[in-house]
Chains A and B, each alone.
Chain A
Amino acid sequence: MRNTTTIALKEFKSYLASPMAYVVTGIFLVFTGFFFQSSLTTYSETSIGGFLVWGSILLLLLAPVLTMRLLAEEKKMGTLELLLTAPVRDNEVIVGKFLGSLGILTAMLALTFYYPLLLMWFGDPDWGPIATGYLGLFLLGGASLAVGLFASSLTSNQIVAAVVAGGVLFALWFVGMAADLLPEAMGEVIGYLSLSSHFPDFMRGMIDTRGIIYYLSITVLFLFLAIRSLENSRWS
């Protein structure tokens, strides 16, 4: 646990020391702010729906950018050698790095919190969908970071890591659309496996345990794969 915290803090600090996290957060805030505002004026309802819809898609784009350096850079620079020869378990390395990036995601989401505060200032928003919406974004973001971390464990090239992660995430997101074209039973299975099919429930204010379990499973699965991939590097 101590090692995990040490690594998580180190990663969080190095995000803060590099421009990447600021650029990503900036882009996230500018675009979600724009869509929040435009959905307000278009539908004139006190909801953060516009922010949630576009925020979820932006997360899929931006999570790979946040995670691409986590392991790929260490491989390229050779610093992984010192990390893996320290008395630290491979799972502590992966979970630590994941928590570091989750810290940045949390900070990013916290900075958007003035959207619902604005609604409260000018109106009387329904806090249920806002709370579950944030929970959904957090879970989806976490799963995306886990996919990104796994992609980063595969290569020493950051761009490749980002592209692979983006590809996996978009495939998982859009596979839900293919579900409609398939026979009922199969469509249901494929639909369940899609990142996108669980998000609307969170937006509507529902806490769907299936959705929570789904996002957590994706997170755990990809963290597990990243650990295996790291272990595997010792056997090259």
Chain B
Amino acid sequence: MIRVENLTKYYGKHLAVDNISFNVERGEVVGFLGPNAAGKTTTMRILTGFLAPTRGEVWVAGYDMSKHSLEARQRIGYFPEAMPLYSDMTVRSYLDFSSRLRGLDKNRIKTRIEEVVDICHLEEYIDVLIGKLSKGFRQRVGVAQAIIHEPEVLILDEPTIGIDPIQVAMTRQLIKELGKERTILLSTHILPEVSVTCDRVIIINEGKIVAEDRIENLSSLVSGSKRIRLEVEGPAEKVAERLRQIEGVFQVSYEDSHYIVECSAGQDPRGKIMETIVQGGWTLLSLESIEMSLEDIFLKLTTEEETSQ
């Protein structure tokens, strides 16, 4: 549904997107993740036709963006970063304007506006000027205009930023609902959002894709993915040193009277750790393995990128 090949974008001399390629299949909800200034917004602006790429090709809904931009744009619903809206229009007149611009059939406009207003819970505000709405409601108007023409592809750039937690939960629920029948690319730097809403995640940093996989597989991508937390009675330095010598242990750190043992990919040295501690004559108080959260993976991937440069 979305195909990106060798996409590169320079702003003058500044390289914003560096030769990235990815696919989003029909019906998938894909999280587009990265720290600020990683190139998420630039990529989305190219996908929606707002910016032209320096190099590379983009297909959306089967149309080549460089040749059939209008046909592609017809099939995209877009929620830009910060959701810019005309503050001098009422919600109704704005949705009427967007639905006309996006080529909705004239006879459908009235009923479709009622439908999206219902979906986005804007009933009470339909005749209020957009400039008078709070951030949360403006954001709902943004979602409403993105879905009004029933697009096949939705591109949402940080749709839950700067709104209160109840509305965040509502928006996520809405994205989930929409994702049942539509293809969605959702950018965010809020990690739990991805695990709640997305099937797959693409992590981008400094213009490059650093990881791309289904959420449940992502942790195996990271070296030292398994972590074990230990509580041991014994001389801290000596224990840590012995632990480091165990095969399959990648790194050991000591904090708050706990040892955190990071293991190499595919290794489970729990048995050996136990043996080592018993041999050393110390007492093992607790041992538990901790799953890496999305945050850990994200941090690891994006900071590894930095240190390697």
Chain A residues within CB distance 8 Å of chain B: 2-3, 6-7, 10, 13-14, 17-18, 77-79, 81-89, 234-236
Contacts and interface: CB of A to CB of B under 8 A. Distances in A.
B103 A87 contact: yes
A235 B55 CA distance: 11
B32 interface: no
B17 to A, nearest CB: 14
Nearest to B49: A85
B51 A234 contact: yes
Contacts of B52: 234-235
A18 B129 CA distance: 13
Contacts of B49: 84-85, 234
Contacts of A83: 101
A82 B78 CA distance: 8
Contacts of B48: 85
A86 to B, nearest CB: 4
Contacts of A6: 97, 100-101
Contact of B89 (A14, A81, A84, A235): A14
Chain A contact residues: helix, strand, loop or mixed:
helix
Nearest to A231: B52
B44 to A, nearest CB: 10
Contacts, number: 66
Contacts of B78: 82, 85
A81 B70 contact: no
A71 to B, nearest CB: 13
B120 interface: no
Contact of B101 (A3, A17, A235, A236): A3
Contacts of B74: 87
Contacts of B86: 14, 77, 79
Contact of B51 (A13, A82, A236): A236
A85 B76 CA distance: 9
A18 B88 CA distance: 8
A87 B101 contact: yes
B45 interface: yes
Contacts of A234: 49-52
Contact of A88 (B45, B51, B101): B101
Nearest to B103: A87
A184 B50 CA distance: 50
B98 interface: yes
Given A3-B101, A10-B89, A87-B73, 6 more contacts: A18-B88, A82-B78, A82-B145, A85-B48, A87-B102, A88-B70
Contacts of A18: 88
Closest CB pairs A-B (n = 10): A78-B84, A85-B48, A87-B74, A87-B73, A86-B101, A6-B100, A79-B84, A234-B52, A87-B70, A81-B80
